[in-house]
Amino acid sequence: MLYYLFEYIENAYEFPGASLFQFLSFRAALAVLLSLSITLIYGNKIILFLKKNQVGETVRELGLDGQIEKTGTPTMGGIIIILGTLIPVILIARIDNIYIVLLIVTTLWMGLIGMIDDYIKIFKKNKRGLKGKFKIIGQLVLGLFVGSILYFHPDVTVRQEIETYNKSEQIKTSQVFSDEKKATITTIPMVKDNEFNYVSLISWISPKLEKYDWIIFIAVVIFIITAVSNAANLTDGIDGLTAGTSVIIVMALGIFSWVSGNLIFADYLNIMFIPRVGEVTIFIAAFTGSLIGFLWYNTFPASVFMGDTGSLTIGAIISVLCFITRKELLIPILCGVFFIETLSVLLQVGYFKYTKKKFGVGKRIFRMSPLHHHFQIKGFHESKIATRFWIITVLLVVISIVTLKIR
């Protein structure tokens, strides 16, 4: 809203300073400051409101140190993250941008599902919360919506580099970008040109099947959104772990959106140029600020938990950001902590069922899953576990960035 207001003031009156809102860097910085201010100033008021209304966490007895002390800590703190993100975005971003619209819908939709889940756990005294099938249906609906928009909307395009060579001298003579075009192209590390087209998954069968590539693409979107959203939820088990890890991941995605949406940077770095994706930097800036502000209250000992309201929303936003910046195939590296936490649960459950069926007694690989609980039982303090997982995430983010230049 402010973007359009100051654009009008600049065009109508040439008011000094009004043109600042045309600069992406200025608006991104303003979004960070505004989201941080909202979460830090109003976060405590929201926590007090949650305490007053007895929106407290019911902790399952798992035999972990410090677990009982967490009983009654306010949950549904994801509301702080959602408000801290959406208010600056609506005020500062260009809300006619299709990517911004997608991210706002994602935040509201998954926030609603998470709130329903937390409400059932707290007020209906049902520790299981919203039935798993309903969560999956909600994630499927979101994936179908996001996938359809990314595939069919005319504003979702790419511009690829075109290199021409002097055949006689075998040297590159020029490098330009193609016109905007619709394509299911994404980034993949360590292959030629770092690009992968989803249409290749079915075109090898018959070229006539290429027109059905939308089915493949939307199916991939649904799977990844569901997987990452649930992975973030599994990771949310100790103070500050999910919020801190997500801050680092989102900052990396901010770099990707910045350079991919800038023709000069894209040309210099020899990467795919994605028109209009630069505006996503504003959302990422606001999201980063709100996560950092929430972390102020969520580090050990936590004053509030994000609940499914926060964790499901964070995972969904990160996955949609990856698709928007066309980095979804980097998720196993970029979101490595989420991936490892989920893998630990799958391995634990699978191995237990296998050994119980074969030997009559179920055996475990880890002392407890997800993985962070395994380290808790081994005696590591949860603040040390969270910090070390943050460090691992920084390393994985650096690897993700470096792989873009490995061809």
- The tokens of 110 are what? 């998954």
Given a cut of 70, the residues of the chain with pLDDT beneath it are 55-69, 162-177, 406-407
Cβ(275)–Cβ(263) below 8 Å: no
**pLDDT computed for residue 57 by the predictor:** 59
Neighbours of 142 (CB within 10 A): 24
Can you tell me the distance from the alpha carbon of 329 to that of 314, in angstroms, rounded to the nearest whole number?
A: 18
Cβ(281)–Cβ(24) below 8 Å: yes
Q: Domain ranges for the chain, please list them.
A: 26-332
**pLDDT computed for residue 348 by the predictor:** 95
> How many alpha carbons lie under 13 Å from residue 116 in its C-beta half-sphere?
12
Class of residue 17 by CB neighbours under 10 A (exposed 0-12, middle 13-18, buried 19+): exposed
Residue 210 region, left (φ>0) first, then alpha (ψ -120 to 50), else beta? alpha
pTM exceeds 0.85, yes or no: yes
How is 228-240 classified by DSSP, letter by letter? HHHHHHHHTTSTT
3-state helix, strand, coil in the chain (%, to 5): 65, 5, 25
Can you tell me the distance from the alpha carbon of 84 to that of 252, in angstroms, rounded to the nearest whole number?
A: 20
Q: Cis before residue 154, ω within 30 degrees of 0?
A: no
